[in-house]
Amino acid sequence: MSTLETKSSLRPGSAFGFVFLVYVLLFMGLRPISYRFGDMLIYNIQFQNLKNGFGMTFKKDVVFEYFMYFMSRIGDVYLFFFTCCVLYVLPLYAFSKKIFQEYWAFAFVMLMISFSFWSYGTNGIRNGIATSIFLYGCSRSNRFLAIFIVILSMYIHKSLIIPVAAYFIVMMYNNPKAYFYFWLACIPLSLLLGGFFTNLFLSLGIVEQDRVTVYLDDFNQASEGVKLKVGFRWDFLLYSAVGVFVGWYFVFKKKFEDKFYHRILSMYLIANAFWVIVIKANYSNRFAYLSWFMLGIVIIYPFLKVKYFTNQNRIIAAVCIAYFTFTYLLEIVLIS
């Protein structure tokens, strides 16, 4: 069933999508090297060291490290950062085209205007690339190719072990209702035992100790693109709950039956539930991003697949505007 009133309404949307794609690639990919972009300075130092012949250990995020080494052999740091942007943005375009076909532009715009999209293209660069590659892998029809790409994303940034684990859990048991109740249960668990779970995660050694300690212990967070504080983040929880509510509404109230949407929603619930458990941690936004990168898709997907409302094209526009407004308020107005 068509979600928009006429097929002709897709033409300007697709044209805008392509213009927006080129604009994002140029604007983000050709940005100056500046302290304003946080970790970009660190990446620049690492790249220059490689350029000057200093070695790299190749034992942490090995795929990204080999990629950086390769780029240092063939070009300068500006080409490196532009290529990083391409690897961040184009997989999202390919994901949108594959899953939503003629409606791809609406999904692509939702991903571009998501909270933290800009931060993870300019600050947490390898994390951003890894999540984009993960989504691209999820969209592949060939099961073996999809699994390979999903696992590959974990070797770009090891934090992807959380959504990758969610991917395999959902592959074995795809039941959004069970994960919805699991997400709800994690809220009181975090309020009562948040410190215990934070220490437990540190002791597991899933990610290298020095990085996780920075995230979970007391550290300055000035470069994260949003003013952060340690404690139970009710504001971030409410933001995450938007996706939970939308998923609940369409799956349970509207009886929306779509296997792929159930998978994305379930992975979102699992990954976000993990963040809820360690919500009091420092840099908790970085853990939240391991689910937030799917949030735009969780919200817009049902609107682009089935027509539920009169003038649904206007409702889609309103959803996009509301989603962008939140990002603008949080990243621009409140920071200022």
pLDDT value, residue 221: 44
Looking at residues 158-163, what average pLDDT do you find?
92
DSSP state at residue 160: G
Tens digit of each residue's pLDDT (9 = 90 or more) over 78-133: 999 999 999 999 999 999 999 999 999 999 999 999 988 998 999 889 999 999 99
For residue 205, what pLDDT band results from cuts at 50, 70 and 90?
Answer: low
pLDDT value, residue 204: 59
Looking at residues 155-178, what average pLDDT do you find?
94
Handedness of CA 190, 235, 269, 155 (dihedral sign): negative
DSSP line for 191-210: HHHHHHHHHHHHHHTSS-HH
- CA-nearest of 33, 184, 243 to 123 is 33
> Which residue stretches of the chain are H helix?
10-29, 40-51, 62-74, 77-100, 104-112, 119-122, 125-138, 143-154, 161-172, 176-204, 209-216, 234-248, 259-277, 284-292, 295-305, 312-328
pLDDT at 147 exceeding the cut of 90: yes
pLDDT value, residue 295: 95
For residue 60, what pLDDT band results from cuts at 50, 70 and 90?
Answer: confident
pLDDT value, residue 15: 86
pLDDT value, residue 8: 57
Do the beta carbons of residue 146 and residue 162 sit within 8 Å? no
Tens digit of each residue's pLDDT (9 = 90 or more) over 107-120: 999 999 998 899 89
Phi, psi of 313 (to 5 degrees): -60, -35
As a whole number, the mean pLDDT across the chain is 85
For residue 209, what pLDDT band results from cuts at 50, 70 and 90?
Answer: very low
pLDDT at 214 exceeding the cut of 50: no
Which is more confidently placed, 72 or 13? 72
pLDDT at 142 exceeding the cut of 50: yes
CA distances in angstroms from 184 to 175, 236, 264, 272, 280, listed in the order given: 15, 15, 18, 11, 17
Cα–Cα distance for residue pair 287/233, rounded to 1 Å: 12
Which is more confidently placed, 220 or 33? 33
Sequence-ordered strand ranges (E) for the chain:
none
For residue 11, what pLDDT band results from cuts at 50, 70 and 90?
Answer: low
For residue 213, what pLDDT band results from cuts at 50, 70 and 90?
Answer: very low
For residue 207, what pLDDT band results from cuts at 50, 70 and 90?
Answer: very low
pLDDT value, residue 223: 43
Can you give 68-127 as a three-state secondary structure string?
HHHHHHHCCHHHHHHHHHHHHHHHHHHHHHHHHHHHHHHHHHHHHCCCCCCHHHHCCHHH
Cα–Cα distance for residue pair 132/294, rounded to 1 Å: 10
For residue 222, what pLDDT band results from cuts at 50, 70 and 90?
Answer: very low
